[in-house]
Structure 1
Amino acid sequence: MDVVVTYLRGLVPGRRALFALAIGAVCGWLAALAGMPLPWMLGPMIGNTLAAVLALPVRGPDRLRPLVIPVIGVMLGSAMSPEMFGAAGRYAASFALLLPFLGLTALVSYAVYRRLGRYDPVTAFFSAMPGGLNDMLILGGAAGGNEKRIALAHAARVLLVILFVVLFYGYALDVTSDEVSRGTAATALAPLDWLLLGAAAVAGVPLGKLMRMPAPQIVGPMLLSGAMHVTGLVTVAPPGFLIVVAQVVIGTVIGCRFLGTTARQIGRDLSLGAVSSLAMIAVAVGFATALTALTGIPLSLSFLGYSPGGLTEMSLLALAMGQDVAYVSVLHLVRIMLVIFAAQPVFRLTRPRSGRPAQSGAKPPRSGS
Structure 2
Amino acid sequence: MDLEDKKTRFFISLLLTFIGGVVFTLLTIPIPWLLGPMTAVLIGSRFRAIKVYWPIQIRDAGLIILGYSIGLSFTKEAVILIAGKLPLMLLLTVVLISFCAGIAFFVSKLSGVDYPTILVGSIPGGLSQMITFSEEMKGINMTIVTFLQVTRVIMIIFLVPFLIYGPFFKNTSAQSTLELTNKAVQAPFSLTILLFAVVCVICAFLGKKLKSPTPFLLGPITGAAILTLSGLHGPEIPNFMLDLSQFMIGAYIGLLLKPEKLQHKTKILTLAIISGLVMVLFSVGLSMLLVHYYEITPSTSILSLSPGGADQMAILAHEVHADLAMVTGFQLFRLIFIFFAVPPVLKFIFKKKRLKQKEKPI
Same fold by TM-score greater than 0.5: yes
Contact 1:41 1:248 in 2 (8 A): yes
Q: Provide the rounded CA distance (Å) in 1 between the counterparts of 2:303 and 2:189.
A: 34
Contact 1:42 1:251 in 2 (8 A): yes
SS of structure 2 residue aligned to 1:14: helix
Q: Provide the rounded CA distance (Å) in 2 between the counterparts of 1:46 and 1:149.
A: 18
Aligned pair in 2 of structure 1 residues 199, 111: CA closer, same or farther (>3 Å)? farther
Contact 1:284 1:303 in 2 (8 A): no
What does the per-residue CA deviation read over 1:233-253, in whole Å, with 9 as the maximum and x for residues that have no partner? Answer: 234344544443343333323
Q: Provide the rounded CA distance (Å) in 2 between the counterparts of 1:42 and 1:288.
A: 24
Residue 71 (str. 1) matches residue 65 (str. 2): yes
Match of 2:178 in 1: none
Residue 42 (str. 1) matches residue 35 (str. 2): yes
Match of 2:22 in 1: 29
Aligned pair in 2 of structure 1 residues 315, 152: CA closer, same or farther (>3 Å)? same
SS of structure 2 residue aligned to 1:53: coil
Q: Provide the rounded CA distance (Å) in 1 between the counterparts of 2:37 and 2:234.
A: 30
Aligned pair in 2 of structure 1 residues 54, 223: CA closer, same or farther (>3 Å)? same
Task: Give the CA deviation at 1:224.
Answer: 0.8
SS of structure 2 residue aligned to 1:194: helix
Q: Describe how 1:1-369 pairs up with structure 2 within 5 A.
A: 14-62=7-55, 64-65=57-58, 66-88=60-82, 94-95=88-89, 97-111=91-105, 114-116=108-110, 124-125=118-119, 127-131=121-125, 136-143=126-133, 144=135, 145-146=142-143, 147-167=146-166, 169=168, 190-258=189-257, 261=260, 271-288=270-287, 290=289, 295=293, 300=298, 304=302, 307-308=305-306, 310-313=313-316, 317=320, 325-326=322-323, 329-345=324-340, 346-354=342-350
Contact 1:152 1:269 in 2 (8 A): no
Task: Give the CA deviation at 1:20.
Answer: 0.8
User: Which runs of 5 or more structure 2 residues have no equivalent in the other structure?
Assistant: 136-141, 172-186, 354-362
Q: Provide the rounded CA distance (Å) in 1 between the counterparts of 2:36 and 2:348.
A: 38
Q: Provide the rounded CA distance (Å) in 1 between the counterparts of 2:152 and 2:285.
A: 22
Percent identical: 17
TM value normalised by structure 2? 0.70
What does the per-residue CA deviation read over 1:132-151, in whole Å, with 9 as the maximum and x for residues that have no partner? Answer: xxxx3332343334445422
Q: Which amino acid aligns with 2:50?
A: P
Q: Provide the rounded CA distance (Å) in 2 between the counterparts of 1:210 and 1:258.
A: 27
Q: Provide the rounded CA distance (Å) in 2 between the counterparts of 1:286 and 1:260.
A: 31
Contact 1:73 1:220 in 2 (8 A): yes
User: Which runs of 5 or more structure 1 residues have no equivalent in the other structure?
Assistant: 1-8, 173-187, 320-324, 358-369
Q: Provide the rounded CA distance (Å) in 1 between the counterparts of 2:347 and 2:4.
A: 36
Q: Provide the rounded CA distance (Å) in 1 between the counterparts of 2:192 and 2:266.
A: 44
Q: Which amino acid aligns with 2:132?
A: A
What does the per-residue CA deviation read over 1:86-139, in whole Å, with 9 as the maximum and x for residues that have no partner? Answer: 4447768854643344333443454465454566777745653443xxxx3332
Task: Give the CA deviation at 1:49.
Answer: 1.4
Q: Which amino acid aligns with 1:75?
A: S
What does the per-residue CA deviation read over 1:165-185, in whole Å, with 9 as the maximum and x for residues that have no partner? Answer: 55562869xxxxxxxxxxxxx
Q: Provide the rounded CA distance (Å) in 2 between the counterparts of 1:28 and 1:111.
A: 38
Q: Which amino acid aligns with 1:128?
A: S
SS of structure 1 residue aligned to 2:45: helix
What does the per-residue CA deviation read over 1:193-237, in whole Å, with 9 as the maximum and x for residues that have no partner? Answer: 431232133201332145442232332222112222333323434
Task: Give the CA deviation at 1:255.
Answer: 2.6
Q: Which amino acid aligns with 2:45?
A: A
Q: Which amino acid aligns with 1:192?
A: L
What does the per-residue CA deviation read over 1:48-80, in whole Å, with 9 as the maximum and x for residues that have no partner? Answer: 111111223222122534444433333332342
TM value normalised by structure 1? 0.69
Q: Provide the rounded CA distance (Å) in 1 between the counterparts of 2:297 and 2:214.
A: 34
Higher relative contact order, structure no. (Cα contacts within 8 Å, ≥ 6 residues apart)? 1
What does the per-residue CA deviation read over 1:274-306, in whole Å, with 9 as the maximum and x for residues that have no partner? Answer: 42333224433543455566x375895785465
Q: Provide the rounded CA distance (Å) in 2 between the counterparts of 1:352 and 1:106.
A: 18
Task: Give the CA deviation at 1:19.
Answer: 0.7
Question: What RMSD over aligned residues (CA atoms) do the two structures have, in Å?
Answer: 4.2
SS of structure 2 residue aligned to 1:233: coil
Q: Which amino acid aligns with 1:27?
A: G
Q: Provide the rounded CA distance (Å) in 2 between the counterparts of 1:232 and 1:198.
A: 16
